[in-house]
Amino acid sequence: MQADLLGARKGRDTAATTALRTLLAAFSNAEAPPAPATSSLAPPSVGLVEHDRLVLTDEDHQRILREQIATRQTAIGEYDEIGQAEAADELRAEVAVLEGYLA
């Protein structure tokens, strides 16, 4: 996907660039370790602490991909309802890009 993003950027394909950037960001966010529970009375920690990133499975990637598609499809419906055809069409183009990665 990184290579596809680079190709989309070089080709100035805004739909593919946007779709792939947000998808890769969603993957990155899902890999972040959960925040530790802290007491509101505890002092904030000082300095940076290294944490291992979570490892996503193929099923995790497909779930996140489907969530990204579903979010856009919901927004498409909302844009269509309020007469924002251009915004809906942009999201349809992003959905088409993302659907190419479904297993």
* pLDDT, one tens digit for every residue, the chain (103 residues): 999 999 999 999 999 999 999 999 999 999 998 876 665 665 666 666 677 889 999 999 999 999 999 999 999 999 999 999 999 999 999 999 999 999 7
CATH architecture of 2-30+56-99: Orthogonal Bundle (1.10)
Q: Please give the Cα distance from 35 to 37 (Å, whole number).
A: 6
Cα distance between residue 95 and residue 103, in whole Å: 15
Residue 34 token pair: 């959960």
- Where on the phi/psi map is residue 47: left (φ > 0), alpha (ψ -120 to 50), or beta? left
SS3 of the chain: helix, strand, coil, percent, to 5: 65, 0, 35
Residue ranges of domains in the chain: 2-30+56-99
Alpha-carbon span 14 to 7, nearest angstrom: 11
What is the pTM assigned to this prediction?
0.82
HSE (side-chain half, CA atoms, 13 Å) at 102: 11
Q: With b meaning 16 or more CB within 10 Å and e meaning fewer, what string describes 84-95?
A: eeeebebbebbb
